[in-house]
Amino acid sequence: MLTNVAALVYDGVAPFELGVLCEAFGVDRQEDGVPLLDFSVCGPVVGQVPTSVGFSINVERGLDRMQEADLIGVPAMPRGGRVPDEVIGALRAAHDRGARILSVCSGAFTLGEAGLLDGRDCTTHWRYTTELAQRYPLANVVPEVLYVDAGQIITSAGTAAGIDATLHLWRQEYGAAVASAVARRMVVPPQREGGQAQFIARAVPDCRAETLGPVLQWITESLGADLGVEALARRAHMSPRTFARRFREETGTTPHSWVTSQRVQAAEVLLERSDASVDWIAAEVGFGNAATLRHHFTRVRGVSPQQYRRQFAC
């Protein structure tokens, strides 16, 4: 169970990515039913540490703090700079004793220097995935995803993808209700679908809310309805082909994948918060029957609905 988190910093740390870790794990949200974690920022230098944007932060704990942590958070660091030897040693020691390690954006390069990406799937910001693969050829860089959970090592893409990865950890450790509570306070979706492809070479379209936004909202409120491409295209006043293309452009995934994910998320909440049968939940969220729910739920979450309920039921 996740109870203790340390965020690692050294010269040149990016403050916004550090802020993601602080916001996700360091804020007291007990009034919203979120467990309070023991959270600290630490580094090889105690005292003033320069950031990447012209100001310094005061770090009060040394690297020994990492010895207590269940999770080590590594924000974006200078890709071309030398990683201090003591940082590499502390990361390897944390890994060897079983701690999980999460990088945000170019923090993956710090993990690469420590040899922690070798033989693992991983990712980083889309601008740097080619560089990451070239510098650490034993790593399996996956460029098209928002984050990769490779067990002990979790790597995320850009800043917002770091939020996605932290919410994934909350969901994995404490269930969908707690992850949703954290997301609500952060005013972000509890789970995004798609990958980095939607951010490469162009910004997310400003017309998103004018095109698919209302349809996406309707889907989340109508999971038991016919949500096939043809039905959704009619609601969006588009041809099925145009709708499918626009859907991928704006969400980074297919309508079927997005709808399935929404149904799984709705099933999670009902499994946690109700005593309803799996058959009833399957019908309520649009899967139709328990077998179909079990198939999709197990594929997405890695456990059956019954196992999930035993672990996270309120």
The residue written with tokens 């959270």 in the block is: 39
In this structure, what token pair is assigned to residue 143?
């460029």
Taking the model in full, what pTM does it have? Answer: 0.74
Q: What is the pLDDT of residue 193?
A: 64
C-beta of residue 65 within 8 angstroms of C-beta of residue 42: yes
203-314: in CATH 3.30.70.3190: no
Q: Please give the DSSP secondary-structure letter assigned to residue 31.
A: G
Domain 4-186, what fold?
Answer: Rossmann fold (3.40.50)
Cα(105)–Cα(107) distance, integer angstroms? 5
Which of 46-60, 70-84, 114-128, 243-257 has the weakest average pLDDT? 243-257
In this structure, what token pair is assigned to residue 276?
């309803």
Average model confidence (pLDDT) across the chain: 90
Amino acid at 127: R
Segment 64-68 shows an average pLDDT of 96
> Which band of pLDDT confidence, cut at 50, 70 and 90, is reported for residue 300?
confident
Domain boundaries, the chain: 4-186, 203-314
